[in-house]
Structure 1
Amino acid sequence: MSIIRFDPKRRPYKPRTSGKPDAITPALAVAALVSVCTLGWIAADTFLPGGGQAVVASEMRVQFRMCGSGQRHTCVVDGDTIWLDGMNLRLQAYDTPEPYNDICGGEAEKALAHRASSRLLELLNGNSFTVETFGTDRYDRTLATIRINGTDVGDILISEGLARRWPDGHEFWC
């Protein structure tokens, strides 16, 4: 029988059952976090339309009508909202009065709203245009810019006195 003397400086022997460390080291945690973030960025770039950036459709020409109470597929809701092939688009960077309720301007506001809606319908039906999308708003509408010959339709409506800049423009119809 052999006797092993106790040595206080000697570490006790701990056999490992696997090659894995007992705890996750900070370096391993950082590496895992970087990997997950990179994979998320690649997935967003691959699977989201436009990779989280603006998506521009090729130039198109579509026939619109004014939206009614039925199914909305391709129609003008008001001067800043349309449906295009079943997608609800909120045209961004400008605002028009609401045609269905007067918030502050009474009948004059409603009349201006109908003129803005009619003008948008005329612009869309009379020209080829491009659509650029930018995500969604709080009502789950797709935010978009529509351009005719490179000019934002919102800028056209603003220059004609039918809309205001949004969000910083004054509601002149009030």
Structure 2
Amino acid sequence: MNTVRWPHFIILTAGLCTALFLVIFFSGGPATTSAATAIDPNRASFGICFGPERVTCVVDGDTIWFEGRKIRIADINTPEISSPGCAAEERLGQQAKMRLQALLNQGGFSLQSIDRDQDQYGRDLRIITRDGRSLGETLVAEGLAERWQGTRRNWC
């Protein structure tokens, strides 16, 4: 009958624990990357854009700055706030802007390219998604945006 003697068992266990510790320590620690981080790698704290210096902020319901790049959300159109046609359009546009800011600040997101990289104003055209779902579609479902039809509509 083979029995493990206690001193050998303690030495073997201590050696295995030490080896495991060294592997974790020298590899930078246990893995902390979740599936959501891998799927939606972008994360930032978005404010509202003010003034000429814009890095990461929300301009309106369908335009943001992210890490110094101006991005037009490609799958939606929201009411104008810079030159609205009426007070109702401006109110709805402000609601869309604030809701977009809240959505972006809720967690990681992805920027998906479309068939064109930029629009005529030099803005990057992207669809913003979280967990594979368009944040623009969330605004559409909440009545704060419409799906992009190729032209802007009158919100008044």
TM over 0.5: yes
Match for 1:94 among 72, 76, 79? Answer: 76
Give the CA deviation at 1:58. Answer: 5.2
What do residues 87-142 of structure 1 show as CA deviations (whole Å, max 9, x unaligned)? Answer: 01000021001112213xx1110000000000000000012111113400000111
1:131 aligns with 2:114: no
Hey, what's the Cα distance between the residues in 1 that align with 2:76 and 2:42?
A: 22
Larger radius of gyration: 1
- 1:140 is matched with 122
1:116 aligns with 2:96: yes
Paired AA for residue 110 in structure 1: E
CA RMSD, 1 decimal: 1.9
Alpha-carbon spacing, 1:143–1:69, altered in 2? closer, same or farther (3 Å): same
> Is the Cα contact below 8 Å between 2:61 and 2:96 reproduced in 1?
yes
> Which consecutive unaligned segments of at least 5 residues does structure 2 have?
1-38
| % identical equivalent positions | 39
- 1:61 is matched with 43
What do residues 47-80 of structure 1 show as CA deviations (whole Å, max 9, x unaligned)? Answer: xxxxxxxxxx952211110001130100000000
Hey, what's the Cα distance between the residues in 2 that align with 1:115 and 1:58?
A: 25
What do residues 126-163 of structure 1 show as CA deviations (whole Å, max 9, x unaligned)? Answer: 12111113400000111001101111011000000000
> Is the Cα contact below 8 Å between 1:164 and 1:171 reproduced in 2?
no
> Which consecutive unaligned segments of at least 5 residues does structure 1 have?
1-56
Hey, what's the Cα distance between the residues in 2 that align with 1:74 and 1:168?
A: 26
